[in-house]
Amino acid sequence: MNDQYGRRIHYLRVSVTDRCGLRCRYCMPEEGVEWVEHSRILSYEQIVRLVRAAAGLGIDTVRLTGGEPLVRKGLDKLVWAVKAIDGIRAVTLTTNGVLLAQQLPALCAAGLDGVNLSLDTLDRGQYAAITRRDLLPRALEGLEAALNTPGLKVKLNCVPMGDNDDQLVPLAALARDRALDVRFIELMPIGLGSSLPRRTQAEVLEKLEGAFGPALPCAQGGGSGPGRYVTFAGFTGRVGFISAVSHQFCESCNRVRLTATGFLKTCLQYETGVNLKALLESGADGAAIRAAMEGAVFAKPACHHFSAAGTAEDERRSMYQIGG
């Protein structure tokens, strides 16, 4: 599928739930989260139908996300079904890792290709303050289980947001001894992320170079995303930056998102897209669904404008409602 600007869209992020056991400060409020009723969430059968339609249009990579995707029961069955769709080459998962160790064997047996684990600190007290849950040991168990799974591509995602300034070097150091990509994701001014201090790529890199010496160029391959990678002397893995605000990468954007309620969202910052769940439930056939997807993707906005003043279509949802 190409959009009106000639970008090839082949990557679909699928949110399977808005629920999560953590309450990360930049993503969810501590209290009073209003969950979507179950009837409004796509069933696995509906997700599979929509991914099949998308695969017919050239989507070849699917990332399952949330909320926390592992809180939804039977996720391995969804991995298995999506992997079996013609044209889907890779199915990956973004998770906070808390439930990963116990579910990883079934997920891998179903054909999971990779895991991105979100972890902002290695300090237990700080983790409890950022996520509002004292679950660092469980997240680390998940990371360890992923790293010990042969053939599984593992990346660690950290959002630098002031509170974890002292943890950027220890987190990056995990890539020294292990075949791991540690990536720093610039805080985006979406939902609760708007009110926290952002640390830019330049600020993080300066800190890392202070600890590890000059950043060295390295192969950029291995993913379909916007990460830009460097390495440091003596490192086995890489350190990546996903800097949507300071280094906008919209020109090479290759993705769209399917929210848990079945909205095909064509840009992270706007509410533009199409309600595919309503279409499915109106009895639309595969051709009609493909046509709706194509139309929405064609009209994908040129770029976000995080640094500008808001517009009427600005996204008002938080990241857990979108899927990150």
Residues near ligand SF4 (CB under 6 A): 20, 22-24, 27-28, 66-68, 96, 118, 319-320
Q: How far is the CB of 131 from ligand SAM (least distance, A)?
A: 9
CA angle 152, 153, 156 (to 5 degrees): 125
Residue 65 contacts which entry, ligand SAM, ligand SF4, none (Cβ below 5-8 A, type-dependent): ligand SAM
Q: How far is the CB of 242 from ligand SAM (least distance, A)?
A: 8
Q: Rule CB under 6 A: is residue 185 a binding residue for ligand SAM? A: yes
Q: Rule CB under 6 A: is residue 190 a binding residue for ligand SAM? A: yes
Among 62, 81, 91, 319, binds ligand SAM (CB under 6 A): 319
Binding residue count for ligand SAM, defined by CB under 6 A: 20
Residue 157 contacts which entry, ligand SF4, ligand SAM, none (Cβ below 5-8 A, type-dependent): ligand SAM
Q: Rule CB under 6 A: is residue 140 a binding residue for ligand SAM? A: no
The Cβ-side half-sphere exposure at 196, using a 13 Å CA radius, reads: 24
Question: Nearest CA to 324 among 257, 240, 245, 261?
Answer: 257
Q: How far is the CB of 142 from ligand SAM (least distance, A)?
A: 11
Residue 185 contacts which entry, ligand SF4, ligand SAM, none (Cβ below 5-8 A, type-dependent): ligand SAM
How far is the C-alpha of 146 from the C-alpha of 142, rounded, in Å? Answer: 6
Please identify, using beta-carbon distances, which residue of 136 and 319 lies nearer to ligand SAM: 319
What are the DSSP calls for 49-95, one per residue? HHHHHHHTTT--EEEEESS-GGGSTTHHHHHHHHHTSTT--EEEEEE
Residue 226 contacts which entry, ligand SAM, ligand SF4, none (Cβ below 5-8 A, type-dependent): none
The contacts found for 161-164 with CB under 8 angstroms, 24 or more apart, are 161/25, 161/26, 161/120, 161/187, 161/193, 161/196, 161/197, 161/198, 161/199, 162/196, 162/197, 162/199, 163/25, 163/120, 163/121, 163/126, 163/129, 163/130, 164/120, 164/121, 164/126, 164/130
The Cβ-side half-sphere exposure at 67, using a 13 Å CA radius, reads: 21
Structure token digits, residue 85? 């769709």
Residue 23 contacts which entry, ligand SAM, ligand SF4, none (Cβ below 5-8 A, type-dependent): ligand SF4
Please identify, using beta-carbon distances, which residue of 157 and 231 lies nearer to ligand SF4: 157
Among 68, 113, 181, 315, binds ligand SAM (CB under 6 A): 68
Q: Rule CB under 6 A: is residue 112 a binding residue for ligand SAM? A: no
Q: Which pairing describes strands 181-185 and 153-158: parallel, antiparallel, or unpaired? A: parallel
How far is the C-alpha of 269 from the C-alpha of 2, rounded, in Å? Answer: 20
Please identify, using beta-carbon distances, which residue of 28 and 42 lies nearer to ligand SF4: 28
Applying CB under 6 A, the residues found at the interface with ligand SAM are: 20, 26-27, 65-66, 68, 94-96, 118, 157, 159, 185, 187-188, 190, 193, 319-320, 324
